[in-house]
Amino acid sequence: MSLYINDDAWCFFANRSGAPWHSPIVETMDEAGLKRHIDYYAVPGVTGILFNPNAMRAFFDSRAFEPLWKGLEEGDDGKARYQGRELETRCGTPEDFATLCRNVKALFQNVKDPYRFRYDYCRKKGVEMWISMRMNDVHYADDPTRIMHGELWRKHPEYRRAAYKEKYSFWFSQCLDYGEKAVWDHHFTLVREYFERFEMDGFELDWMRSPFYFKPGFAEPNCGLLTEFMRGVKHLAREAAGRRGHPVKINVRVPSHPEEALYAGLDVVNWCREGLADMVTPSPYFQTSESGLPVKLWRQLLPDGVALLPCLEQHVGSSLPVRMKSTPEIDTGFASSYYQQGADGIYLFNHLYRDSINDWESQRKLYTFLGSAGALSRKSRRHVATYHECMVEGISGRAAFDDNIPANGSVSVRLNGGSIPAGSESRVLLGTAVPLPTSAEIRLNTVVCMPAPPPAPLPLPEVPLELNAFSVPAGTLHDGENLIEIINRSDAEIRLRWAEIHIRVGE
């Protein structure tokens, strides 16, 4: 089993001193800074680190994409400008574009070949070094004048998938359309540059940044274009392996549900059957890790020999308003359930050096055991019901549960509990908008669960929430899927906002 960590470029280069990050770390743009960065991740239990060197521009001195700092104007007043306009902060936060651009440029002035250095140092630390290419990143596309944007995108709005919705939708309408040959070629040129310039243990195509590749209504007829892209990548990987003298694996990060990947034009299963990918990472987009991620279905669809590494995000939520940063116990719960369904490892996104889950040190400790199903079985954990954030236009997401339990009605919540440790104690935890009526009946797998004290104080979403705990009789909770039933015997509705199974192990 294995653990891979995606490290986005912002993590190292950006100013993360203020809200919502509050990171005390201000990194230096030199070899010492690169070492500290890698040292944080490269603990026993971590298989590999995936470094992200591009968005719409490149975070290195690329020939294929414009370097991020191209066009940066430094004024005598100490201010940075682009096309005469002062570089602003990101959405009112301290993460200013000036610091980002200056730091990227400084690293390539101070270190002769930062990616060569990263590769060599990762090998010294015993972890794989990967390149993760963002395939259609459109961060901050609401303002076309920002320095982040590439010239192909800026000068050719006709290459965007739905430029006509620029003012009427989120960034995704402004993704580039791979149905345009110029767009396909533009991105493949960057792939070629990655393989020619950088030694790596693996190459990831991050199709989740962002998962929109064709004009609305054209993903199905154009699906073959992305398959051709994958064939070209596989060819380059084989050539690189021959030159470097070691394998270069390929991972694809794709939507969490296989049918949604296909709707996006990503024919993942056939890619794998054709031998075009060695690993698959089904992923949520951003808002929450997913309790209903269909790991077992993915395992049944993928050929033998293709590694399956589901992705955990930084946040968890039962709905968009009811969410929070994840914790080690919650990540342990997700990972346990994924392993029970056939996952080969775990992949972490936004679990970063300077942008962590709820605690920086406990996140690093989490790295040491999250890649081992055996180690997880000895850890207390939380199995939280979360919603599905669908990334396909025309298809809605799915709630974690029906949040309105009508008077004299009932609601069920499905949760995979992973492999249940012998001798563990369990609680059903329910968060409600108002106190739960004493007449409510809670069952797990048909067995009545009686009210009990909640576990020691647990991090919960910062919304009005009444936490109710119920003791699970020994032998009731079983491996895999479990069903909580909430029966409302009162004459008033119950608003359910949170549901989980807490498993305590004597460690």
Residue 378: closest CA among 438, 409, 434, 422: 422
Within a domain: 257: yes
Q: Which of 217, 252, 283 is the last residue of a domain?
A: 283
CA–CA separation, 53 and 33 (whole Å): 16
Range of the domain at 263: 2-283
Q: Whole-angstrom Cα distance, residue 253 to residue 178? A: 17
CA 145 to chain centre: 28
Question: β-strand 410-416 against 307-308: which pairing, if any?
Answer: unpaired
Residues 167 and 34 in one domain: yes
For the beta carbon of residue 125, count every other beta carbon within 10 angstroms.
16
Map tokens 């296989």 to a residue.
258
DSSP state of 181: H
| pLDDT for residue 90 | 62
Same domain for 12 and 153, yes or no, is yes
> How far is 197 from 180, CA to CA, in rounded Å?
26
Q: Which residues of the chain have pLDDT under 70?
A: 19, 21, 90-95, 507
Q: What is the CATH number of the domain that holds 465?
A: 2.60.120.1200
What is the predicted pLDDT for the residue at 341? Answer: 98
Tell whether 440 is covered by a domain: yes
**Does a structural domain hold residue 314?**
no
Confidence at residue 401, expressed as pLDDT on a 0 to 100 scale:
96
Q: Which strand (E) or helix (H) includes residue 72?
A: strand 72-74
Q: What domain count does the chain have? A: 2
Residue 288 lies in a domain: no
pLDDT computed for residue 358 by the predictor: 75
Residue 71 lies in a domain: yes
**Last residue of a domain, which of 255, 283, 311?**
283
Q: Is the pTM of this model over 0.85?
A: yes
Name the E strands within 306-435. 307-308, 311-312, 315-317, 323-325, 345-348, 381-384, 404-405, 410-416, 425-432
- The pLDDT of residue 507 is 63
- CATH code of residue 225: 3.20.20
In a domain? residue 354: no
The SS3 of residue 203 is strand
For the chain, state the CA radius of gyration: 24
| 432: three-class secondary structure by DSSP | strand
Report pLDDT for 14. Answer: 86
- Residues whose CB is less than 8 angstroms from the CB of residue 244 and which lie 6 or more positions away in sequence, other chains included: 199
In a domain, 278, yes or no: yes
pLDDT (0 to 100) of residue 359: 83
β-sheet with 80-82: strand ranges across = 72-74, 80-82, 85-86
Last residue of a domain, one of 261, 283, 305: 283
DSSP 215-244: STT-TTTTHHHHHHHHHHHHHHHHHHHHHH
Which among 122, 131, 108, 242 is positioned nearest to 194, based on CA atoms?
131
HSE on the CB side for 235, CA within 13 Å? 8
pLDDT at 95: 59
In a domain, 455, yes or no: yes
Task: Give, in degrees to the nearest 5, the angle at Cα 106 between 88 and 197.
Answer: 115
Please, which residues bridge with residue 82 across strands? 72, 85
